[in-house]
Structure 1
Amino acid sequence: MTLNIPESLLLLSRKDDTGAQQGNFVEYALAGGALAELFLAERLDVHPDKPKRINIISEAPLGDAYLDDCLAEIVKKGSGKSGEAYVTLLAGKSYLAATLAHTLVDRGILRAEEKSFLIFSWTNFPEVDSTAETAMKERLAAVMFDRAEPEVADCAIIALAQRTELLSKNFDKEELKANSRRIKGLAKGDFLPTKAAVKSIDAVQTALIVAAITPAIAASTTS
């Protein structure tokens, strides 16, 4: 059972037993992961004359509820905006993260658990089948610690997970420290295979930009 970039980040951001969220600025990481997937699916591309701008090149649905909702929001916003603008847009739509979580519920990976306290209510998503997450973590560990060749998605996940403190929540801190130079290189896209397509590289670079500016975006939208 394969996971895309935002699905991987969502699982990393949830405590397996309770389903409570961990990490910082997770909604921005999910937004960055969505942009990367939309690049890979050839729905978005870098503006040919303005490299900091992103063009919509196709509005065709992908058949994935979360990514289709993200694409629809971007289409409503309009083409030619910055990555920061699209990330801020997607991160501010709370229903998107819920849609993503429910896709994993439908696949039997998570379950929805309603919680309440006084007048407040919320939904946690504890894990019921760890197979997909375990395989994803083993893959990331091999890339970070055992010098396995990364795939495009690996670099995007590592970049976004590093900036949102999800690596330290899911992997041994000593191993992360011992391999910090390798991880920093992966998060910069230094070890992408030379055979990677241009659009794949654009997708990762978008994720890297998002990862770098995530704290600043979050600070500006909450101040």
Structure 2
Amino acid sequence: MPLTMPEEILLLMLDDETGRLTDRAAPAGDYALVGAMLAELALEERIDADPPRLRVKNPAPTGDTVLDGVLARITAEPEPQDSRWWVETLVRDAEDFRNAYFERLVQRGILRAEEGRFLWIFSERRYPVISDKEEREVKARLMSVIFEDGPPDARDSLLIGLTRAAGLFPMLLAPEELERAQPRIDAVSRHESLNKTVSDAVRDIFTEIARYAPMM
């Protein structure tokens, strides 16, 4: 069974050795995860995220319990809202979403769950990689799009847009590679119209967080 986009984003953000989300993934990673969930619902043709408002196209369940819970919330919202509103609203539950997807990756034998301590005091759960096959395939797919000239499909364009929006590419590419690839990354991110709403909403929010972080 192929990975969903939220699962792919989590694997890209995970430190394979420690089983923790990398420092660079916080807090942008939460927004990227929520953006990936909305993107997955759009690819499943359950929602339409074109501006100015996100609307439900088909309320039928997808079979993914996490996505179906989000779809039910969008369906029940009395007033249509835009993608940014939904990203900012859903990110409040990002920890629950993360845990649900991590547990799913554990059940599939891709990760294992370990209980540990952070700073010898705080309990934490880590998710070291058991099989890196899926993560390598995701990275290889993204690299093939970035370093080749062919048109990307909608899923890869969205995943690249979200990875860019959350500032995660420095985790995947050396500085000189990133500099060379940046024009292509930008072009691919603009290729899929959904990136203009979901991915741009994530990027705008992340930019605001970065701007005000020193003052917090």
Shorter-normalised TM range: 0.7 to 0.9
User: 1:98: which partner in 2?
Assistant: 99
Partner deviation per Cα, 1:67-98 (whole Å, 9 max, x = no partner)? 12322343454451111111112211021111
TM-score relative to the length of structure 1:
0.83
Give the whole-Å Cα distance in 1 for the aligned partners of 2:199 and 2:63. 26
2:104 is the counterpart of 1:113: no
What is the RMSD computed on CA atoms of the aligned residues? 2.4
Equivalent position amino acid for 2:46 in 1? R
* Alpha carbons of structure 1 residues 148 and 135: separation in structure 2 relative to 1, 3 Å: farther
Unpaired runs of at least 5, structure 2: none
Question: For 1:121, what is the secondary structure of its paired residue?
Answer: strand
User: 2:40: which partner in 1?
Assistant: 37
Unpaired runs of at least 5, structure 1: 190-200
How far off is 1:57 after superposition? 2.8
Equivalent position amino acid for 2:114 in 1? E
Equivalent position amino acid for 2:58 in 1? S
Number of residue-to-residue matches in the alignment: 209
TM-score relative to the length of structure 2:
0.85
Partner deviation per Cα, 1:14-33 (whole Å, 9 max, x = no partner)? 01111111224101001111
Give the whole-Å Cα distance in 1 for the aligned partners of 2:30 and 2:185. 22
Question: For 2:14, what is the secondary structure of its paired residue?
Answer: coil
User: 1:198: which partner in 2?
Assistant: none
Contact 1:65–1:103 (CA under 8 A) maintained in structure 2: no
Contact 2:47–2:57 (CA under 8 A) maintained in structure 1: yes
Give the whole-Å Cα distance in 1 for the aligned partners of 2:92 and 2:42. 20
* Alpha carbons of structure 1 residues 204 and 215: separation in structure 2 relative to 1, 3 Å: closer
* Alpha carbons of structure 1 residues 220 and 81: separation in structure 2 relative to 1, 3 Å: farther
Equivalent position amino acid for 2:203 in 1? A
Describe how 1:42-57 pairs up with structure 2 within 5 A: 42-46=45-49, 51-57=51-57
Describe how 1:56-67 pairs up with structure 2 within 5 A: 56-67=56-67
